Amino acid sequence: KYITKIHMNDEHQENEIMISNKIKQIKRFSQYFSPIISNCKIDLAEVHNNESNKCDFIREHPADNNKYMSTKTIYVEGTTYADYLIELSKMSLPLSAMHPLDKALANNFSIIIVEIYKKLITATNKLLTQGICHYDLKTSNIIIKKQTNQPIIIDFGITMVPEEIQT
């Protein structure tokens, strides 16, 4: 499954495409990241008017057709890390209020968090090895895969390669 988005074709999109191409060079990148897989410029004149009118973005930015781009990323079935933490916290109570059998569950909460952080450290290390700095790594830019609890880093829009920054 994929997610397709329409964006303004600007320097941020060009940067995200460049970063995505670097990420795709990482061995088994899809275990850690969801970069742009493919992209193309789109001609809005070829999009049926009824369909384009449903899109607030296109109505609000009736720009020249060369200013739009379609991007495709791999769909990650799961929840944001922020929502995941909220759900985990609902399952835990203060240790003093717990039945002895439930204390083991509370311990699992800590183990789960530590395991996710270990995976995030591995992922960010893989980015750094490619000279990539995410710059917007936060709980809403991490998806926890539903079946595996694997964190997947998304949204590379303001990610940079520090060596390529021109002052």
pLDDT tens digit string along 88-115?
A: 877 655 555 555 555 555 667 788 889 9
CA distance 114 to 137: 17
Q: What is the 3-state secondary structure (H, E, C) of 98-138?
A: CCHHHHHHHHHHHHHHHHHHHHHHHHHHHHHHCCCECCCCC
Distance of CA 33 to the CA centre of its chain: 7
Q: Which two tokens stand for residue 70?
A: 């379609």
pLDDT tens digit string along 46-58?
A: 665 666 666 776 6
Q: Is 149 helix (H, G, I), strand (E, B) or coil?
A: coil
Contact 60, 28 (CB under 8 A): no
pLDDT-wise least confident of 36-45, 95-104, 120-129, 152-161: 95-104
